Structure 1
């Protein structure tokens, strides 16, 4: 009975999120305990595009969306040509739908920006306001621009603010139900955000990197947190979609990256990505199904037995530029609402939900319990291969003899899936 009540409450909460805008107010019984576990002045910098990116982002840009007018159609054709097919885990569902949860559009997650205000001495919560992002007039844009960059100076009597997108629910079970209800009510398509950039190697070679970013409402495996941005890099030879050939795919998962030139394809150009996590979903992006050993944070292993195909044909593919190239003043209020998320230096989810064994801030891209910042504030944005937060994982399947006498041999016999270890650590 309790579960039914909780789920009914979530349906009502999701319905209110999907409906009219909420005016600034002071919610009753609000929980701001997360503030004890975050560093409110610790925000990542925006990663700018390199000089080479001016070939595709910036002026001339009549509509202000950040993408040069003469290359926009070509770029969209390019990112669609190499759009991945995802293999999701059928158990990654909350029980409302008979299929896994799809990566979601940002407007479903980021309809309103939640802002908590605190005094520092004495340390007190001072109030909360929520800003509707569906339409952004000039006055609201001026207010939101405060959250585009880090605050680097503060006076002794200044107040501080913590801004974030808050998804309905407070645990993986509740997040699953909330997203299922949203999918059931709105029926959104699986969504991907594609960000191409130009890479010049030390040898002087020129390559095109297409980052495909996926938004999930949470990571419920190990590092439990609200909000979850995952991505892969697809490296190709040319900006011209007719000439471009696939060179390499870089898979990012659990603080690691695996780079491969020979990958499974759907058709001739679409990489197949296995999304990890089982029933609560880590949503890491893997090149193969199987059991992956030596995860970070002492988590041991992740089982990637993805069995539900979402074809590249089914995706709503959105092209996103370098964040600094977007000229919001040129856009209409509704257009601003669709892209401002890219520039906001805020957390995607309740800032801290409490990880297993307590909170630990690390250099990993996915610190325990902490909601992530958006793609443009990730250490991986506009970067390829290994970077801060992602170290190399060179997968090596273990032999039958190496699996003995562990329980891995039983699992291998039952599932027929390989067990991988990181040969980089051998």
Structure 2
């Protein structure tokens, strides 16, 4: 799997030492220093090649060095990179129109651009607060970001506890529990915020009935249904947005990650005039959101997904991956969950960290999303043959993980 070329300089160890002496250690020590990429492959500074099956955590939708994205960013950089929000630009207007088109949002809908998923969630929180209610419902296992407002919606205690007290009024209900939703949604609820598939929670899909109940209950209570498509959107699950697969139309949707193909951009989409009217001039803003460069990048991503029929490809190779995993007939592999190219391979033991480490040594970039689950979120352009490299390697990686545990 590994491919070695003439070693680059400076080498990995030197650069990681410099990293640790100059960057805030919120991510710990990185495992690689990556230098360049092509498609689903990346190379480190020592010339080693890796199959990128994480895609920048579902960000690199078109893979690395895709010619359409490179051309769009290069062209826009030579024209206009940034303007203040006193003005707009052609890419910003065109991207907003394009997003409204692919979401199927009704007349009176609108888009707010920002720079990341957590900023899109912050905008959704402010949208919810403008209803005049203060209660927000999220799900156990949810991850919605790490800024303080978004962190109040994120469930994992290790993220929350160092920064408490957080924004009041947020409650978490058991994932997938319709009865708990029925009990929680009420006259004080401003918004219910849900991921169609909990990404950081372990790639755990919502049953269609759960999302449909969320839509019904919020509509009955006059609350907003906010669907967090930050990780699942932009073709990742084989449709533009994962909530489509449950037939659910939200009041608001958050986007980021794959939208810019690696160029930072986030968005809040409001559905219909009532939700759109909740935020008026001066009530929210951002300096860099919707800049021409990021919007040009996002337009190139959306164009390429459509022109190359990548959503059909995602469904095809995602189904291929599922069949191959199920055909392994290895008792240490208990299943595969998720949709399209957002998947978790589940294991019979807490081996995911060891599988990831040994996979990296073998030239595979994986993500141990849970102790017993390995997440895959490769570029949408990944091939079935490339996914087979992982499947074929997995039994051997598990052999090594079991050996480590003894």
TM-score surpassing 0.5?
no
Higher helix share: 2
Q: What's the TM-score once normalised by structure 1's chain length? A: 0.25
Q: Which structure: greater strand fraction?
A: 1
TM-score (norm 2): 0.26
